[in-house]
Structure 1
């Protein structure tokens, strides 16, 4: 997606086939869900050596994501039959997750269908980012996490302590990343920024003050005492979240051949960033105030993309210099569209483009 390296994708495509069409079916149960314990998989404890068994939402949500990502890659490489097969399986796994792992009483996805009832940050968040949860379930799951996992130093990765003592007091920045993205992607940008401020603000205001911790324990302590890594790559998910969601810039096809800029300010007054692409940097900067939103996009040659404004189209006038692109009722040409009350300007090619959205009185 970031490099457009077709030869790399082609070289490893047989491995992808083997993983998705041989390995995963060997650990799939009669409901179509991955089940930890099948085919001698009971011993390994995933990213935090957690004692989870059976149908686990986290694994199955990642499986849906993997199938859909692989389908897009397959289609890019010309393997249409593979793409269709994986998309169909992703749909089936999605339905099975909603049928077997949704806890209607809690309004959230179960961590596992086996053992004590608990609800995890990883499974609920990735169920949203992978498109398993519809809008109603996404809102409910995030509300459950708000009610049960919110801490002054972030959001805990479990809503109770049935998996081990103090689990409901531990914050993993690693699994906080998909929750932050889930909040942005489900229209809750303010809560995403609040979670960033609590999690990374805690790290920033405590020793050593310049690095991202592996984890935060009860009361904001080092979660593994002296064994805690205080500079951990797994905790840097805030960077793509700030880049792709808050700044709003991300690729929409391999190698940034196409891209989008969809800012979500969430109370932040300005942002600027530069994304490395095979064609040169894609540069974005924006500044927002009560009455105006100003944005500049510098586009590298060989790419084109679209900009979506974060303001209600019914309340703003959009200009490019002196030219009015949208006056609240009419757009200037076919490159300007309005959908879900948001103005999008498409077909932005090489060069620098500056726009202003003015709130009408």
Structure 2
């Protein structure tokens, strides 16, 4: 048998795309234009510099960086060592090569602000940058830090925009913001493309997983305060409610916004987030002073024109002195305003950054009237001294655009997470977010803002009104529990499941079918409220939701609930079979009364194991091509489930219909991740409209490779019981490991024409079922740990009394395998 290399092998590590450090430098310099010197120096922080020069009447100098196939996201940071003239540096971002070199829009990145409107809100959401380019005025040497995240990019264009200037850059890098959890599972086989696909899939789940998207963060010793879409724009010091007369000092840098004028804002004598004095200085060199009363800004006076011209990127020192009703503002030691107001006499300090106002803060100090320090923060540590909008961790639909959690996408994402990582917190927190966004009648939002703290009210269906997405909650939670065994969390979330099912059942009519009403009709057919009726896809989802809820209820000891859910699932099942299955056409029609075949509907039916075998055979003959990778992955899961293994692996390799996982992984032009819809090459859209995401966990398919090709699947929660049943297809060998709450499962197998060999290491607390593929020969012997154990004439040795052994047309099954290590072989013999 081939010796497995294991999780920590160098071979395995070759495939890992996860950055090894939060500081991500360019993989390569792709090209340059104009006068650029020593360009490779920009790829490391070794003190050497790359120089861009733009002579008068000359060509704009450009460096095009390739961040490599992982195409990470994060905070852009670069360091300038010298400059001449008045340089303005432009940095643009794209995930696909053709978009960054587009002659009309490339210097502005791959999409323009406001071009992604399908959700009805601006995307991407803060703290991501709504622009795909940045502008920096270079006045001094030093570090330049972007205050907003660029979500995902392989290509970074650095261009000097101003004639008769030059700039020397020591390095450019990103500060990674995505999950970097170490791998606890792995997959390898003799097909290199499948190995790369497994790691691309699991990495996609990582790049779309965020420890948080807090309003405030620290980067390189600078505080970056921002407003999130659904948060207050103010953050305050934890202490200071009784501070009266004091001075508030801090350094600030204002970052240029390509659209509205940018600014820095601060708060003094704040009773809370909605009451206190607010000041703001903008890049138009104006001072604005307000008192905030119950969240409403009231001007204290007309704006004050400052005696100096402010420039983005320059560090300034601000001091606010409070003495009774007197408020004095000093900029770099110069008094620029005195205002008198007695509305607020005491309170905290903080910062106020509305949307589109970008600034960096450091060296905060608060002193009493005698000069004693009340509070200080140089931001070399954490932000425990401050109160601001925070979020839990979560898995987003993608890194580049929305950066929001979507309930339906979680089922695909989670299945990939569970096979590679033992950090289940991202999934757990995201499920909890959706539980919070359940309405009083039981509907669960399709997408939500992680920072939102307001429960939805009756009839408030969110930004994407979809019963389909609502119906995903129970399957997502059931999968989470099946893989993690987290009974406490399943019990905590169970009331949400129950309430959600009551809501869905309200729209199941006398024919047993769920009726999709207009108000919540967005989903598989489009992003508009339009499709009503009794569609197959939503009915399969609602059926599966009741089935998964019955599973959860049984596990929680709620047998009466389980019986109720099973009975209701049976009603829906009958309705589907009576009205959506066409006996003549031999497939599920897309809607009651229709004759139309829908790939999506029938793929979902197969994936959840709904049709009988004869129905499945007929359906699979029609499931050829689709334009959506997530639904093709459902079809592949169904093909494996119904043992059409060769068709399943063939579809992974060549799915057709513009979907192509493997092709994308061989293309140097884009990220080696799983993309939105997995359409490859990406569709040609007008310049500035390329907001499609190149990191969507819902098209990731590591779970199909580990769960079927390798063959490891849980059968009881937390892998308390599991099966190792390889769907070998045309592979010669495969190996892998799967993290479980009980420890690591290690499984490998290899085969020749006459022999199948396997090695299984099963941790304490688990019971395994091992499926051994039968050889072509009718005569064979199964060996366990080198000893004959079972013969094809169904004779078993005396040593197998603790095991259950049975077989079907494809496998011999060894059941009730206790924890331990096993070497298994199945050998053809000439004479039994």
- With the length of structure 2 as denominator, give the TM-score of the two structures: 0.38
- Which residue in the other structure is 1:104 paired with? 583
User: What does the per-residue CA deviation read over 1:55-76, in whole Å, with 9 as the maximum and x for residues that have no partner?
Assistant: 1111111222222221111111
Deviation string, structure 1 residues 269-318 (Cα, Å, up to 9, x no partner): 11111111011111111112211111111111111111011226944211
Distance 1:48 1:230, change over 3 A: farther
1:245–1:264: 8 Å Cα contact kept in structure 2? yes
Q: 2:503 aligned to 19, 23, 37, which one?
A: 23
Aligned equivalent of 2:714: 251
Which stretch has the larger CA shift, 27-36 or 252-261?
A: 27-36
1:128 Cα offset (Å): 2.1
Kindly tell me: are residues 80 and 314 of structure 1, through their superposed partners in 2, closer, same or farther at Cα, counting changes over 3 Å? farther
Q: Which residue does 1:323 correspond to in 2?
A: 787
1:1-361 correspondence runs (5 A): 1-20=482-501, 22-37=502-517, 40-42=519-521, 44-46=522-524, 49=527, 52-113=531-592, 117-146=595-624, 155-156=625-626, 170=627, 172-198=628-654, 199-206=660-667, 207-208=669-670, 210-217=672-679, 220-223=680-683, 225=685, 226-236=690-700, 238-311=701-774, 314-329=778-793, 330-332=795-797, 333-334=800-801, 335-341=803-809, 342-361=811-830
Q: How many Å separate the matches in 1 of 2:670 and 2:545?
A: 36
Higher relative contact order at CA 8 Å, sep ≥6: structure 1 or structure 2? 2
Considering fraction of residues, name the structure with more helix. Answer: 1
Match of 1:149 in 2: none
In structure 2, relative to structure 1, the CA distance for the partners of 1:308 and 1:139 (3 Å cut) is same
Distance 1:297 1:275 in 2: 12
Distance 1:322 1:295 in 2: 12
Deviations 1:324-355 (A, max 9, x none): 11111112234141232331112222221110
Aligned 8 A contact 2:786 2:824 in 1: no
Distance in 1 (CA, whole Å) between partners of 2:635 and 2:525 is 16
Partners of 1:64 and 1:130 within 8 A in 2: no
Task: Tell me if structure 2 keeps the 8 A contact 1:296–1:352.
Answer: yes
**Superposed structure 1 runs of 4+ greater than 4 Å apart:** none
1:88 offset after TM fit, Å? 1.6
- 1:298–1:322: structure 2 CA closer, same or farther, 3 Å change rule? closer
Runs of 5+ consecutive residues of structure 1 not aligned to the other structure: 147-154, 157-169
Q: Helix, strand or coil: the match of 1:133?
A: coil
Secondary structure of 2:743's aligned partner = coil
For 1:310 and 1:118, locate their aligned partners in 2 and report how far apart those are by CA, in whole Å: 39
Q: In the aligned structure 2, how far is the partner of 1:55 from the partner of 1:290?
A: 50
Q: Work out whether residues 5 and 255 of structure 1, in 8 Å CA contact, stay in contact via their aligned partners in 2.
A: yes
Counterpart secondary structure, 1:250: strand
SS at match of 1:275: strand
- Superposed CA offset, 1:107-142 (max 9, x none): 211122366x43222211221232321001101011
- Distance across 2 between alignment mates of 1:93 and 1:360: 50
Q: Distance in 1 between matches of 2:727 and 2:589?
A: 30
Distance 1:140 1:118 in 2: 15
Hey, what's the Cα distance between the residues in 2 that align with 1:113 and 1:140? Answer: 19
Q: 1:299 to 1:97 in 2, by over 3 A?
A: same
TM superposition shift of 1:251 = 0.9
Equivalents in 2 of 1:77, 1:314: separation in Å? Answer: 45
- Partner-residue secondary structure (3-state), 1:29: coil
In structure 2, how many angstroms separate the alpha carbons of the residues matched to 1:359 and 1:200? Answer: 37
**SS state at 2:520 partner:** coil
- What secondary structure is seen at the aligned counterpart in 2 of 1:203? helix
Deviation, structure 1 residue 105: 3.6
> Whole-Å Cα distance in 2 between the matches of residues 124 and 223 of structure 1?
26
Which stretch of the first structure deviates more once superposed, 9-18 or 334-343?
Answer: 334-343
Q: CA deviation at 1:227?
A: 2.6
CA distance in 1, matches of 2:714, 2:637: 16
Q: 2: CA distance between counterparts of 1:46 and 1:274?
A: 35
Secondary structure of residue in 2 paired with 1:252: strand
1:177-200 deviation per Cα after TM superposition (whole angstroms, max 9, x unaligned)? 211011011110000000001132
Q: Given that residues 582 and 588 in structure 2 are in contact (C-alpha distance below 8 angstroms), is that contact kept between their aligned partners in structure 1? A: yes
Q: Distance in 1 between matches of 2:640 and 2:822?
A: 25
CA distance in 1, matches of 2:779, 2:581: 39
Contact kept? 2:608, 2:638, Cα under 8 Å: no
Q: Alignment length, in residue pairs?
A: 332
Measured after TM superposition, the shift of residue 360 of structure 1 is: 2.7
Question: Could you report, residue by residue, the CA deviation over 1:228-261 in whole angstroms, capped at 9, with x for unpaired residues?
Answer: 222221110x111111111110111111111111
Tell me how far apart the structure 1 counterparts of residues 544 and 489 of structure 2 sit (CA, whole Å).
20
Coordinate RMSD, CA, aligned: 2.1
Q: Which has the higher strand share?
A: 2
SS in 2 for 1:309: strand
